[in-house]
Structure 1
């Protein structure tokens, strides 16, 4: 039915009474109901029961009635609480009957229950009502998601916005007072620019016509009925919301509030995709424009055409003008706000962003690369800048299973819509997460304290160590980094721009076999480096202190990524424990399988720490930090202080953490990280053989350090060349960082989903950059 005409049936009230008795065995008082192209009457019997009797348009496929009835039953089975009409069977048990009009044409006759209440178009509605309506439309779409019917797949319907060209061809039917030029532009834009986008949107069976007179409200404006499935069609899901917005906005006043509230309600049930948000304004405008044209055409063709659509405000030029005045940019900003998305801003230059950043984030903008990059999107191993260029990300260790991993995002989104509260309430997710973390340590460390970051985790581990030992001393590696709290900044010498190491802290030599005092090939190298712990402990003792803890990053990231030196960490731990201290394994960067073979970095050293601390990658970027320790240590600490973190271990964080564990386990990423690391390491050694500026290549699993030197004999560092190489690699499309005391180490930490194909790309880009150095 692509004609703009309606050609509705015209049976008398007596005809309806006869048909109702003959086919359904009911009688009562009949009341005509509005309909665009079918004919409807409400019958109420003497007991107060009411039904809607419907005579379908003869020009439409009779199977469409079957599709409507099947859809109603499907909705009732999927969402029984959603108020839709029920079908009244005929006396012979059929869903409908075929009847003949006086002109000989055949029509389908059927009946459904009448849903009591007021039509929404006649009610005074506020923001809460529009949110409820938006949510109701989304619920109906969700209930129809799995429904299909052959009659709907090739249905042609003039109200289908994909038929906008038919309306565009009849714009000359508009009355003189109508905004014909604006309608022409709107429909022209829609057919040229919007129609090509629609095939890429989510599509399914939709209601197709949820407006103020197909929506029944009950007490308190609760949704009491979603009626009239006559425009049922297979189309983009977003059509239902776009058409509803176009129909509900009948006047300029309050249009923005209606848009905001209805989209917010819809999005609370079915989150909108950005591509759907982008076309929503055009759908609203096209709905209003086509409505104006269709009504004008029908009135011109048939002066007796029922005026109820226009009488109820459909196709009102004032509403069209109001939306036209609001504009696409402002409307889309409202929609994005309703969906919790940031507004799209006009693209600022890098210089402008830097100046804005200096004003609000400090005069020393800590950014990578020269000039800095403006990133707008992440996908797996890729980052995408504001110009749309893709960069292979071999630096950001936070998204350990890749940027925007759909399983992690899905877990966060799903849980956020159900509940997000703290651990003062019982919850299963945080317990399951704690149990799985404990199991990953082999059952050695099964008690968990939940916080929000690695810095906090290290801070709490330090406090626990002090509470357990009663000692004040803290030992860390030279040039280590462990966080930003005051206590942990003290053991982060790599972050100190000035000043001395605090009096209770002692640093020990990093086991650097390339540049340190004991080089590769030195006998007892591990014991010689570990012996420095004796010096640190003696220094503490001289100051009247004993160590509470030593903290170790298993991959020695800030020291330039040092491969595990057998026996070194074990000797350090033994020495510190003998002096009364405990041992902290900072696994923020080295854990979760990054080093391959084992889940935790410390397991590569053959040790069991007293604490494991995690952050950053635990939630793939979601703020999640955990301290794993022995139950007696946690209990001792909690007996001394009322430890509680409001957001630590909340439902959403636990869901994110569980999703990360699932992705790593299901993808066999620990094993794959080891295989990819070996492949990448071999490729880096080949580059070293061809580019003399590379002095050393190191791998701690899927973390790599490439040290640049001017001379292989005296190992004079090349920090300026390192900075230039990093920027050249950025120009090639590869993102890496720098590290080390001398700033001459290229640091690479790709996500666990990094594969050999990505490694080949990275090696090729690095090779080209080295050639340009």
Structure 2
């Protein structure tokens, strides 16, 4: 062996070298003179040298390391620069003696140094958040390095280091005396023993090659992508280069990822998949990966503590100790069998078929069920999924919802029959009752067992032979030949520790009284769970991310009850997205790169198939909130009575039209009911064109009005149509976007100058013989992100339009209906009255409903074109929906809520803007706000890519928000009007965290 043997010299304090000495070495031996600054290292000394000729890193090796080891590191860099040229690596500089390694003396000790080119970039170690894409690129980088070094040979690679995972057991044994925390020491010892036992059994099948050995968040340098995310591009510090397991290279990288999101250990799967695409792992390597990750994290813990003892001034080693402990806790939070299942499922190795999970142990010939009396009487399956019909009006947010619902079902069953009955919850189901609102972490919703609600005292029998033991209050474990049966909610009646035959009495279901709201009621609940891993207490519920792996070791126990009640297989979010792509036109877009499957809404919240609940900050369509019970009842009641078209004479259409007209100022008194905002705008154009006997229309740049032929013709947003400006028909005249933040005119006189521009366009149209029939504009610049129009803008432009004989159309589809808080209609904020108003979205709370409201003379003139008809616009159901929405807005004070909650949210966002330069402006009012993100507050360069990435990160943290504006750099904030201050704070806190920690 040519290299260092750690076990003969485990204490490796850094050599005592000052910056002054380092400066002299760089100058004398490498001819580089400059300023010197020390940077951290575990066992060596590193100095950055800034010289006129460039930036360098002087590495002073620990004297324990041999010349051949140092040469192997240098040659490895050079080799990798050829075999993996896409990876930035340091380039060694020849010293005065003609070699890459030079010698110098300090206090009688001969030390060796190398001067390397400085690889620019920044590390990931201090990044609180690593996006999945970044984790994947980190794994890909490790894969490229492993592939590039696979054929590298050098005698200096043959060394025994503490970082070689093959030595993990001995390293921990050697350094364990440094750990004074007995609890932590015991946890590390147990984890290392179990992991190394697994690795020893696999070691003969694991590939060995030259590896870097330290491709971690500390030794990978990054550039910035356009979206602001780190892009791992280079590798530094080849000090741990040596022979090692190929899978050890990946395990080292994965272990460094864990402390960034310790609550989500499987977040590292992105790195594993990326590595596997470059260096395909064998089945043995997949089996070894998690034990290797645990072993690596354990070595980091004990080595960090030990290094702090032998080198107490080493701040670099000391400040990483808690990172390393968090990584160890994350690595050991999953049993190896569960982690292996997750890895196997993620990679689907080429050399073995994918194996199913192990089945539940078979019952004996007699087939004794766990609950004999219940099985005989029969059970009712309780659906608690996101699509459950028994979960209504937000009842799933009640902390005791499951027991309340089951209790009512049992009570109903007892009155209908004299036979005993029970309610059973399904295995593997993501229970919506386990969701959490305003939470940045995915909830543990997926059941790893079944739960039976039945009468207290119901006898429990052993469904198979085994040894029963008490496992805490109300908990019993029956240890069988193939698995442990864990029961929670039981009173043990047998003798603990005794062997039971199948069918022997085991205990009885314990009583759990219902809350005082249902006095006198009592129900027992028994949670039934199987686990094929000995001496592991699995969780009752897990996140959807880990559920597939956990199910392999916690199989369905419902056959022990005499039935099969596993949750039915549902298409995943990805399945639904794939089906959507095959059936829907590609242009019918969807939110997010990898969208969740949303299946339920309640007030300002949306829930997905996995039971994750998100805060909805974009659904202005759901103006009064999702699934409002009054609206549900009104629509259902009207459907039960009548639904037809508005040519029939029924009261609802008259009442609703009158109520809408009364909401508008005189002379706006005549209503057309339609199906959508696009249809409303299209009809408004036809009204104006018919009344004025003209065709031309003036509209505003950067605006969106709809998808019909007419509404699309006046939609000028390049975000919705990149060719919008070049493809407008000749009858459309566009005025400048009156955006005082980033438009052509800014400052105090901006409003007047935008009015002047509009007057110019209108005047040119008149002089060319094409006077406008109408001017169409949102009263608040909605598509641009809620940018208010300059004071007096509409008044000035309306005057010019009317002077030219045209009509003024206020598009209130997005901004009307109380959303602005201080005004029910957006045009009120400008102190004007339009000739035509278009509304939709908020009118129907998601039901297809829109309206055009105008003067009687304008409406009468339209009759010259023939009749008007809209199938669903004025139907009885549509009218019932529309009336109920207005009732709720009034009765629940939602317009006032837009003032108070919207004002509170705006103040929070403005405070964020003072702390984060990326926020260029906060636009809007009420509950129509926009946060405009810029790369530079002076140039106002739009932060388009950053905005998209921020929205993706916000989704991970439980908030749904989307970009808007022509540059797609504005967070559009237009939630249901029932948004609470708590929800507003959660949004602001989540945005603050994202801007602080990265995206």
Q: Is the 8 A contact 2:785 2:924 kept in 1?
A: no
- Would the alpha carbon gap of residues 433 and 241 (structure 1) be closer, same or farther in structure 2, given more than 3 Å must change? farther
Counterpart for residue 694 of structure 1: 919
- In structure 1, C-alpha distance between the alignment counterparts of 2:564 and 2:418, rounded to whole Å: 16
Q: Does 1:572 align with 2:572?
A: no
- In structure 1, C-alpha distance between the alignment counterparts of 2:952 and 2:369, rounded to whole Å: 53
Q: How does 1:514-533 map to 2 (within 5 A)?
A: 514-520=741-747, 522-523=748-749, 525-533=750-758
Q: Is the 8 A contact 1:591 1:599 kept in 2?
A: yes
**Secondary structure, in 3 states, of the residue corresponding to 2:773?**
strand
Q: Which moved more, 1:684-693 or 1:667-676?
A: 667-676
Q: How does 1:82-101 map to 2 (within 5 A)?
A: none
Q: Does 1:416 align with 2:639?
A: yes
Q: Offset of 1:558 from its aligned partner?
A: 1.1
**Secondary structure, in 3 states, of the residue corresponding to 1:738?**
strand
Q: Offset of 1:734 from its aligned partner?
A: 1.1
- Would the alpha carbon gap of residues 637 and 388 (structure 1) be closer, same or farther in structure 2, given more than 3 Å must change? same
1:653 to 855, 875, 878: 878
1:637 to 859, 862, 877: 862
Counterpart for residue 679 of structure 1: 904
Q: Does 1:381 align with 2:604?
A: yes
Counterpart for residue 452 of structure 1: 675
Q: How does 1:714-733 map to 2 (within 5 A)?
A: 714-733=939-958
Q: How does 1:167-206 map to 2 (within 5 A)?
A: 187=375, 190=378, 199-200=404-405
2:412 to 229, 232, 236: 236
1:593 to 814, 818, 825: 818
Q: Offset of 1:194 from its aligned partner?
A: 6.0
- Would the alpha carbon gap of residues 194 and 466 (structure 1) be closer, same or farther in structure 2, given more than 3 Å must change? closer
Q: How does 1:178-327 map to 2 (within 5 A)?
A: 187=375, 190=378, 199-200=404-405, 235-236=411-412
Greater RCO (Cα-Cα under 8 Å, separation 6 or more): 1
1:511 to 729, 732, 738: 738
- In structure 1, C-alpha distance between the alignment counterparts of 2:829 and 2:415, rounded to whole Å: 56
Q: Offset of 1:751 from its aligned partner?
A: 1.3
Q: Offset of 1:465 from its aligned partner?
A: 0.6
1:400 to 623, 647, 655: 623
- Would the alpha carbon gap of residues 746 and 240 (structure 1) be closer, same or farther in structure 2, given more than 3 Å must change? same
- Would the alpha carbon gap of residues 193 and 613 (structure 1) be closer, same or farther in structure 2, given more than 3 Å must change? closer
TM-score, scaled relative to structure 2: 0.45
Counterpart for residue 758 of structure 1: 983
Counterpart for residue 500 of structure 1: 727
Q: Offset of 1:518 from its aligned partner?
A: 1.6
Q: Is the 8 A contact 2:645 2:872 kept in 1?
A: yes
- Would the alpha carbon gap of residues 721 and 197 (structure 1) be closer, same or farther in structure 2, given more than 3 Å must change? closer
- In structure 2, C-alpha distance between the alignment counterparts of 1:422 and 1:553, rounded to whole Å: 30
Q: Does 1:548 align with 2:773?
A: yes
Cα deviation, 1:366-413, whole Å, max 9, x if unaligned, reads 111222221011010001111111111111110011111111111101
Counterpart for residue 155 of structure 1: none
Q: Offset of 1:675 from its aligned partner?
A: 1.6
Cα deviation, 1:722-760, whole Å, max 9, x if unaligned, reads 111111111111111111121211111111111222111
Q: Offset of 1:543 from its aligned partner?
A: 4.7
Counterpart for residue 440 of structure 1: 663
Structure with the higher helix share, 1 or 2? 1
Q: Offset of 1:538 from its aligned partner?
A: 3.3
Counterpart for residue 250 of structure 2: none
- In structure 2, C-alpha distance between the alignment counterparts of 1:735 and 1:547, rounded to whole Å: 40
- In structure 2, C-alpha distance between the alignment counterparts of 1:484 and 1:362, rounded to whole Å: 15
Counterpart for residue 489 of structure 2: none
Q: Is the 8 A contact 1:696 1:706 kept in 2?
A: yes
- Would the alpha carbon gap of residues 659 and 329 (structure 1) be closer, same or farther in structure 2, given more than 3 Å must change? farther
Q: Is the 8 A contact 2:809 2:836 kept in 1?
A: yes
Counterpart for residue 266 of structure 1: none
Q: Is the 8 A contact 2:954 2:960 kept in 1?
A: yes
Q: How does 1:706-745 map to 2 (within 5 A)?
A: 706-745=931-970
2:685 to 442, 448, 462: 462
Q: Offset of 1:239 from its aligned partner?
A: 7.7
Q: Does 1:354 align with 2:577?
A: yes
Q: Offset of 1:584 from its aligned partner?
A: 1.1
Q: Is the 8 A contact 1:694 1:708 kept in 2?
A: yes
Q: Does 1:491 align with 2:714?
A: yes
Counterpart for residue 113 of structure 1: none
Q: Is the 8 A contact 1:382 1:390 kept in 2?
A: yes
Q: Is the 8 A contact 1:357 1:365 kept in 2?
A: no
- Would the alpha carbon gap of residues 239 and 731 (structure 1) be closer, same or farther in structure 2, given more than 3 Å must change? farther
Q: Paired residues, what number?
A: 473
Q: Does 1:475 align with 2:698?
A: yes
- In structure 2, C-alpha distance between the alignment counterparts of 1:239 and 1:402, rounded to whole Å: 37
- Would the alpha carbon gap of residues 730 and 532 (structure 1) be closer, same or farther in structure 2, given more than 3 Å must change? same
Counterpart for residue 296 of structure 1: none
Q: Is the 8 A contact 1:722 1:744 kept in 2?
A: yes
Q: Offset of 1:351 from its aligned partner?
A: 2.8
**Secondary structure, in 3 states, of the residue corresponding to 2:769?**
coil
Cα deviation, 1:667-725, whole Å, max 9, x if unaligned, reads 12212211212111110010001111111111232111111111111111111111111
Cα deviation, 1:190-247, whole Å, max 9, x if unaligned, reads 459669968517969xxxxxxxxxxxxxxxxxxxxxxxxxxxxx9428986999xxxx
- In structure 1, C-alpha distance between the alignment counterparts of 2:407 and 2:878, rounded to whole Å: 29
- In structure 2, C-alpha distance between the alignment counterparts of 1:437 and 1:239, rounded to whole Å: 49
- In structure 1, C-alpha distance between the alignment counterparts of 2:418 and 2:776, rounded to whole Å: 57
Q: Is the 8 A contact 1:533 1:576 kept in 2?
A: no
Cα deviation, 1:274-316, whole Å, max 9, x if unaligned, reads xxxxxxxx99xxxxxxxxxxxxxxxxxxxxxxxxxxxxxxxxx
- In structure 1, C-alpha distance between the alignment counterparts of 2:973 and 2:989, rounded to whole Å: 15
- In structure 2, C-alpha distance between the alignment counterparts of 1:466 and 1:610, rounded to whole Å: 13
TM-score, scaled relative to structure 1: 0.57
**Secondary structure, in 3 states, of the residue corresponding to 2:862?**
helix
Runs of 5+ unmatched residues, structure 2: 1-366, 384-400, 420-452, 455-558
- In structure 2, C-alpha distance between the alignment counterparts of 1:506 and 1:238, rounded to whole Å: 73
Runs of 5+ unmatched residues, structure 1: 1-178, 205-233, 244-281, 284-323, 333-343
Root-mean-square deviation over aligned CA pairs: 3.2
